[in-house]
Amino acid sequence: MKQYSLQEIYEQAQEDKSSIYCTMSRGESFLNMGVKLQKFTDYIEILNCSKGGDYFQELTETEYEVFFNNGWKRGCVITAMNNCLHKLDLIENKMKVEVNTRKNDKHIQNLKTRREGILNRYSKHKIKLIKLK
């Protein structure tokens, strides 16, 4: 399996038509499926926009490995799928707490609706990943 460098991943992001390009005061960035690649004069970093609340978190080592092993497009799809699984896990835990404590039907129904939306998004990402192979 080919290993990609950060520079190669940056070049793939440049060529990707589905990525959104932004110029910044100190560099440039590309955004795709909740993943942001930032290139500055001295370094390149990849951020996960779906974790960390109000601010974007830099990828962990294992998340970086996904990009090094798969490149920009597949890395974005796999990261988006992992984000969906993370959100599903959070919702499941909230549902357990709600069912075992307050038993608020409206809140439980809202959580079920959110879960269904995330499951739909996950399946769309899964189809994209299959098409990229």
Each residue of 78-87: pLDDT tens digit? 999 999 999 9
| Structural domain contains residue 1 | no
Task: Indicate the number of domains in the chain.
Answer: 1
Determine what percent of the chain is predicted with pLDDT higher than 70.
100
Position 36 scores a pLDDT of 96
Is the CB of residue 132 less than 8 Å from the CB of residue 74?
A: yes
Q: What is the pLDDT of residues 6-39, one digit of tens each?
A: 999 999 999 999 999 999 999 999 999 999 999 9
pLDDT band at 76 (very low <50, low <70, confident <90, very high): very high
Q: What is the pLDDT of residues 39-63, one digit of tens each?
A: 999 999 999 999 877 789 999 999 9
- Reply yes or no on whether the pLDDT at 128 is more than 90: yes
Q: What is the mean pLDDT of the chain?
A: 94
pLDDT band at 2 (very low <50, low <70, confident <90, very high): confident
SS3 of the chain: the string is CCCCCHHHHHHHHHHCCCCEEEECCCEEEEEECCEEEEEECCCEEEEECCCCCCCCEECCHHHHHHHHHHHHHHHHHHHHHHHHHHHHHHHHHHHHHHHHCCCCHHHHHHHHHHHHHHHHHHHHHHHHHHHHC
Structural domain of residue 92, as residue ranges?
Answer: 6-132
